A and B are shown apart, each in its own frame.
Chain A
């Protein structure tokens, strides 16, 4: 299944590094999401983009910077992260915003370790 693909699958970065996570969806959807999954909060919404416009920022620290150049691509730029940011980052998409009763399709996730 290649509906939503994420790269890299695994990333180890130092606290002073700058890296990016990439997500691409091949489903023709208009909404894309970033979720953080950790033991503390299993599915925590970070950002929502609907028709390339950011519609939700769930009080995410500025060291996480999303970018949505078009409806098919979503990036999460990472800068000066903390060890507690280590988690699985899931990208997802839906036809349009989830509140409209649309199924969310998740990617496989990117495992991030901050050292």
Chain B
């Protein structure tokens, strides 16, 4: 089955610094790589995703990069703000399969 490893499990940065979270996956058939953000006491919500035919995607202060050869993808947050503090989950679902494998999450704390 699919295995997704997410690192680091916790990350603390100063406001204004950048944060990077990395995920590695095992199934070469995976072709869709979303990132979800879960604020304390709230539901996980999609913040950005990338498909396998693209190497990088940006949306304001967040970006995702994909290296299909090495089977890893990363979330980049620039100019971090306190409201970026949350748990972030990556996923690498297999194509044509209902099973979705999420990473174990990264707790990001942005210190003001």
Contact = CB atoms under 8 A, between A and B. Distances in A.
Interface of A: 31, 33, 41-43, 45, 48, 50, 55-56, 58, 90, 97-101, 103-104, 106-109
B93 A103 contact: no
Contacts of A48: 98-99
A70 to B, nearest CB: 18
A42 B102 contact: yes
A43 B99 contact: no
Interface of B: 31-32, 34, 36, 42-46, 49, 51, 87, 89, 91, 93-102, 104-105
A28 to B, nearest CB: 17
A106 B43 contact: yes
B46 A100 contact: no
6 contacts: A48-B98, A48-B99, A97-B97, A101-B51, A103-B46, A106-B43
A58 B96 contact: no
A45 B99 contact: yes
B89 A43 contact: yes
Contact of B98 (A43, A97, A108, A109): A97
Nearest to B46: A103
A8 to B, nearest CB: 16
A42 B100 contact: no
Lowest 6 A-B CB distances belong to which pairs? A101-B32, A97-B98, A99-B97, A48-B98, A43-B102, A106-B43
A77 B42 CA distance: 23
B98 A56 contact: yes
A45 B1 CA distance: 13
B34 A103 contact: yes
B61 to A, nearest CB: 20
